[in-house]
Structure 1
């Protein structure tokens, strides 16, 4: 569960993370008997054309990409001292990134093709201070899942956090990154409003294998949607966690857009 944030001067930026990222509609007829919105817990059973009962959805209804975009930061939006923007060439931690052992995958990338279950929709943004070339950068990814997939992802993330505490290898097309340690981190203040949340601190060797770098991952689930925040800085400095103002602002916008 998690990160242009890898630009010039960034020890990890030389690996160039590049990501590869359904619109669902509800029929008006019988809408009042259907499932609840993305924050609900399923829907009512219906009937097929022959009058036979159909199965009740097993989880909250997935949000489509349009609703995720409405719930995300807009390009150029100010978030405290940070500015949000879209990724010009696709976000980091995409389907070219996997983990060894494979059980650690949720800590690396939850993109389609390398994660199970696949998200049905995804929107990525980044937040940084434009004038600080080597400052903190946060990747913000909203993903929507169908049929209880978001809860499944959180379970896998929790297991990976425990099983991979002693480290693992992040594999890319032409390079590898060595994670030395995975530790629990503090979840955001608004976590009590969500269905569940996980937060981790990663200790990672730089590309030369000499310096320890620190990254943070926080993933929050609300219904069928996960909000993932991954923060890093281009130096051995430990920033102590994902900037809370970014997470709080995104959560507030998400809740408002969802109604």
Structure 2
């Protein structure tokens, strides 16, 4: 299992008093804060992508739709980047398993998703990847190709993923796809459900796991829609 989803497996059992809190969280500063961010901002403006500061503002924080949205430390985000697939044609799936896209985004923002109700056993994470519209379309096209070519799964960084299956193409954003794969660690199998949505040049990816019932591992659509409304 990669580092990023492991963060989400530590589920919270608090009560949900304010589903709108995520929308009311203070927005990060709009000014670039580092040389790398300044370069990303310039590149975003050049290709018509969403710059880093705006992407951070777009990502939900706090409580919303039964989940607590939390920022993921940069060190844990980086741990999942650079995952190379074997076979190579499965790279789009490996990249998403690592918390990014097969085409390097201009900027990337992650959130862990922890349930606020004890009866909800689904945990996961969400990330927003900023691209030009052309590159975002290519990300989705390559993902669909990988889903067709990699039903048996792939390996990456010593991890094994099996049983890749497309589940749905929900009416979300400009295009979307839902698929499930199984992460195998020793004798333990962990089904993981991904919802990947393109809206313009933005890719919003949601990952979910439910150790009690794999059929409920999908992040609920109202949760996905709440984030898409902010984009």
Q: Which interval holds the TM-score relative to the shorter structure?
A: 0.7 to 0.9
Distance in 2 between residues matched to 1:155 and 1:198, nearest whole Å: 11
Per the normalisation by structure 1, the TM-score is 0.66
The residue aligned with 1:24 is 42
Aligned residue pair count: 199
Computing the radius of gyration from Cα coordinates, the structure with the larger value is 1
Q: Which structure has more helix as a fraction of its residues?
A: 2
Cα 1:214–1:150 shift into 2, 3 Å: same
Equivalent residues of 2:59, 2:230 under 8 A apart? yes
Is 1:125 aligned to 2:102, yes or no?
A: no
The residue aligned with 2:165 is 183
Equivalent residues of 2:44, 2:51 under 8 A apart? no
Give the superposed CA RMSD: 3.3
Cα 1:212–1:221 shift into 2, 3 Å: same
User: Which aligned pairs between 1:1-259 and structure 2 lie closer than 5 A?
Assistant: 4-7=4-7, 22-24=40-42, 61-74=48-61, 76=62, 78-88=63-73, 89-91=75-77, 94-110=80-96, 116-129=102-115, 135-146=121-132, 148-169=134-155, 171-172=156-157, 176-188=158-170, 190-191=171-172, 194-205=173-184, 207-209=185-187, 211-234=188-211, 237-254=214-231
Post-superposition offset of 1:250: 0.6
Cα 1:240–1:187 shift into 2, 3 Å: farther
Equivalent residues of 1:95, 1:111 under 8 A apart? no
Equivalent residues of 1:167, 1:180 under 8 A apart? yes
Q: Which structure has more strand as a fraction of its residues?
A: 2
Per the normalisation by structure 2, the TM-score is 0.73
Gaps of 5+ in 1: 11-20, 28-56, 255-259
Gaps of 5+ in 2: 11-36
Cα 1:213–1:249 shift into 2, 3 Å: same
